[in-house]
Structure 1
Amino acid sequence: MKSLKKQRRIQIIIAAAVALLLAAVLIGYGFRDGINLYRAPTQVMEEPPAPGEVFRLGGLVEADSLTRGQGETVSFSVTDGAHVIPVRFTGVLPDLFEEGQGMIGTGEMQGEVFVATEILAKHDENYMPREVADSLKEAGVYEVPGS
């Protein structure tokens, strides 16, 4: 009788270990493309990303840098006050996207140009993504509104 209980306990432990391993593999598989690290233009210049690495680039859209190309292609520059990165995006920009405002784009570097697949813009007058505000504060360019 005791050996049967012992055998059953071992089976349950093995089944739980397999279930835990399977859960960990599924979580890892789900996150493989879902984790995009944020970088400011200064970080991109100091530590260039690996070829094909998808990441998020954020900063302020540089004044007078927005140019519209063929079709839905748009080019502009993003700055954190210290460095400037040219950006190319094909698609429809968010309604609140404009020069001098904060933005975050997801994409990859192709040569010296960041090619974005998605652009996010502020959602009201006072909002700036935390990562963008932090990187601009480090560069000494951004002050918190109301302070």
Structure 2
Amino acid sequence: MALSTLKKKRRIQVVAMAAVALVVSTALVGYAMRDGINFFRSPSQVMAEPPQPTETFRIGGLVEQGTLIRGAGEEISFSVTDGGASVPVVYTGVLPDLFEENQGMVGTGRYVDGRFVATEILAKHDETYMPKEVVDALKEQGVYQESAPGS
């Protein structure tokens, strides 16, 4: 009988240690990923509820016609729109080859002093690709039109 009680105690200890290890490992993974999770926002969402300047997020839409300005050096400014709102964007660096006005883009950065300061800019890859979040935001504004297959 004492042997059975000892086995039960040992089993409970093992289960408790496994539960503690699971909780600790989950907390460590969450802590490690806290900076790697960037939420997506459309320009309309950014203008309706501007995020804090310390928050890194992704913004996507179409590069607004007539807003692309290449400054001195590698500084570029333009506006991104979803048809409902436009957000000015500033980026220092080399833009992707396919980046141009009226094309889809996704940028990662922060919204500071009324403009999106991008640390990374991605352009659509070919004539049919556009990130799902951007398509959803453009559809919501009634701007996005499906392209015909093979066109």
TM-score normalised to the size of structure 1? 0.94
Q: Aligned letter for 2:20?
A: V
% identical equivalent positions: 62
Give the RMSD, CA atoms, in angstroms. Answer: 1.2
Partner of 2:92: 90
Q: Aligned letter for 2:5?
A: S
Q: Aligned letter for 2:60?
A: G
Once the 2 structures are TM-superposed, how far is the Cα of residue 138 of structure 1 from its aligned partner?
Answer: 1.1
Once the 2 structures are TM-superposed, how far is the Cα of residue 100 of structure 1 from its aligned partner?
Answer: 0.7
Once the 2 structures are TM-superposed, how far is the Cα of residue 7 of structure 1 from its aligned partner?
Answer: 2.0
- Number of aligned residues: 147
- Long gaps (5+) in structure 1: none
Q: Distance in 2 between matches of 1:50 and 1:113?
A: 12
Matched, 1:31 2:33: yes
Q: Aligned letter for 1:17?
A: A
Partner of 1:63: 65
Deviations 1:30-86 (A, max 9, x none): 220111111111111111112311111110001121111122111111011121111
TM-score normalised to the size of structure 2? 0.92
The SS at the match of 1:104 is strand
Q: Distance in 1 between matches of 2:60 and 2:95?
A: 15
Determine which of 137, 141, 147 is the counterpart of 2:139. 137
Between stretches 26-35 and 112-121, larger displacement belongs to 26-35
Matched, 1:110 2:112: yes
Q: Distance in 1 between matches of 2:41 and 2:66?
A: 23
- Long gaps (5+) in structure 2: none
